[in-house]
Amino acid sequence: MVGTIILFLLPLVASPYLSFLAAQYYLFGLLGISLGIMWGYGGILSFGQAAFFGLGAYIMAWSFGLSPLPINPAYIALMIAPLATGLTAGLLGLVLFYSDVKDVYFVIITLALSVILEQLAVSASDIFGGFNGIYVPRMALSIPGLFSIKLINDRLFYYVALLAMLGGYVVCYRVVNSPFGERLIAIRENERRTKSLGYDTAWYKTQAFALSGSLAGIAGALYATLSQFVSPPLTGFVLSTEVVIWVAVGGRTLLLGAAVGSILVNAASTVLSSVIASQYIMILGILFIIVVVAFRRGIVGYIIDRYDIKGKL
């Protein structure tokens, strides 16, 4: 609670540049949450979250490309992106989960999804802009007929990003603590038993994946208009695998861990990269290995266990 208040007050003291960075981190946090709900609660590792993130980003870019439109193009994108990414994820889930594909294969296939999408974005350059990417203007917050504020001010966008992340967090929190969430965890713990009790586990997994995809799509759409540039790496496997690292380091079985891990790792990367140039990826890789071997609940998870902080996060 206190933390949230601090976050809300931050832009009042921070520079526009810091607000910009923080906004990026929050959107990455939302991306992390999208993986967290699949991986931490469903027990299914997706190595392709960037595919949905990037798709959402491109949808935002295309939306602006179709201007002039009677409705705020960003609003259109923010409605279409989660639908498109959620549907894609859902369809893929239907195909894969109903055929009892082993967890490992799911990882490979989602990884391939990212690779394919990135390749597509590079080659189909008339649609995706290829390597040169697409420039995206800052979105405007508007109520038709009343006002329209273009979010050029980084501090304003900070709040949008923060709200988006908190919104995603709240949605996932409610899902996780609902009967649906409980069953998802049951599937993660013992899928065989859950099936034998009459639950259509493949459908639950598909729904979780669809939710995960649409959250990533929203994050991507907002990211596009924040950073004002969309290019193939946003869909690629490098980002996809980075998300896995953020969430693993933060703590995959906790939503808070996923969010905090994403924010912290990115913040640390920015800080470290200005200090130790290229080696920070190496450090990140080593840290990742250590976390995987020794800190299975991630850093946040470790702290919670160590200091016995209760409550379902």
Partner 1 sequence: MSTVLQTRDLRKEFDGVVATDGVNYAIDNKTLECIIGPNGAGKTTFFDLITGVLTPDSGTVEFNGDDITGLSVHEIARKGVVRKYQTPSIYNEISVDRNIRIAFGEDGTTDPNRRVKKILNRVGLAAVDDQIAGTLDHGRKQWLEIGMVLASDPSLILLDEPTAGMTTSETSRTADLITEINDKENISIITIEHDIDFVRQLNCPVTVLHNGSVLASGQLSDIEDNNEVQEVYLGR
Partner 2 sequence: MLDIVAVISQIIFATSVLIIAALGLGITFGMMGVINLAHGALITVGAYTAFAITNAGLSLWVAFIIAPVVVALVGLIMEISVISRLYDRPLDTLLATWGFALVIQEVIKVIFGTSARSVPNPYSDPVVVLGSSLPKYRLFLTGLSIGVILVTYIGFQYTSFGLRSRAVIQDDQMANMLGTNVNRVYRATFMIGAALAGLAGAAVAPIVGVDPRTGIGYLVQSFFVVIVGGTGQLLAGTLSGSGLIGGSAALLSFESSQTFAQTIVFVFAIIVIRLRPQGIFRGQ
Residues that bind partner 1 (CB under 8 A): 182-183, 186, 189-190, 192-201
Residues 70-99 as x/- pattern, contact with partner 2 by CB under 8 A = -------------------------xx--x
Q: Which pairs count as long-range contacts for 178-187, CB under 8 Å and 24+ apart, including other chains?
A: 180/204, 180/207, 181/41, 184/41, 184/42, 184/208, 185/41, 187/42, 187/43
In the DSSP assignment, the letter for residue 132 is G
| Distances in whole angstroms, Cα of residue 121 to Cα of each of 31, 46, 170, 198, 225 | 20, 20, 32, 42, 18
Q: In the set 119, 190, 270, 273, which binds partner 2 (CB under 8 A)?
A: 119
Q: Which stretch binds partner 2 (CB under 8 A): 127-135, 170-178, 218-226, 278-286?
A: 278-286
190 binds, among partner 1, partner 2, none (CB under 5 to 8 A by kind): partner 1
Is 109 within 8 Å of 45 (Cβ atoms)? Answer: no
- Min separation Cβ 204 and partner 2, Å: 19
CA distance 279 to 312: 36
Torsion over CA of 231, 76, 168 and 162, rounded to 10 degrees? 70
- Helix, strand, coil percentages for the chain (3-state, nearest 5): 75, 5, 20
Instruction: From the list partner 2, partner 1, none, pick the one residue 271 interacts with, judged by a Cβ distance below 5 to 8 Å according to partner type.
Output: none
Binding-site partner at residue 7 among partner 2, partner 1, none, CB < 5 to 8 Å by type: none
Nearest distance, CB of residue 107 and partner 1, angstroms: 23
**Is the Cβ of residue 8 or residue 199 nearer to partner 1 in the bound state?**
199
Q: Using the minimum distance from each CB to partner 2, give the nearer residue, 18 or 112.
A: 112
Query: Does 100 interact with partner 2 (rule: CB under 8 A)?
Result: yes
103 binds partner 2 (CB under 8 A): yes
Interaction residues for partner 2, span 39-68 (CB under 8 A):
45
CA atoms within 13 A on the CB side of 251: 18
- Among 109, 166, 268, 272, the residue binding partner 2 under the rule CB under 8 A is 109
Among partner 2, partner 1, none, partner that 304 touches (CB below 5 to 8 angstroms by kind) = none
Q: State the Rg of the chain over Cα.
A: 19
Near partner 2 by CB under 8 A, which window of 70-78, 180-188, 227-235, 283-291? Answer: 283-291
The tokens describing 42, both together, are: 């469903």
Q: Which of 237, 195, 242 is CA-nearest to residue 111? A: 237
Binds 196: which of partner 2, partner 1, none (CB < 5-8 Å by kind): partner 1
**Hey, what's the torsion of the CAs at 188, 114, 257, 180, to 10 degrees?**
-40
- Minimum CB separation from partner 1 for residue 202, in Å? 9
Per-residue b or e along 166-180, where b marks 16 or more CB atoms closer than 10 Å to that residue's CB: bebbeebbebbeeeb
Specify which residues 300 forms β-bridges with. Answer: none
Query: Hey, which residues between 181 and 240 contact partner 2 (CB under 8 A)?
Result: 237
Question: Contact residues for partner 2 (CB under 8 A)?
Answer: 45, 95-96, 99-105, 107-109, 111-112, 115-116, 119-120, 122-123, 237, 241, 244-245, 248, 278-279, 281-282, 284-286, 288-289, 292-293, 296
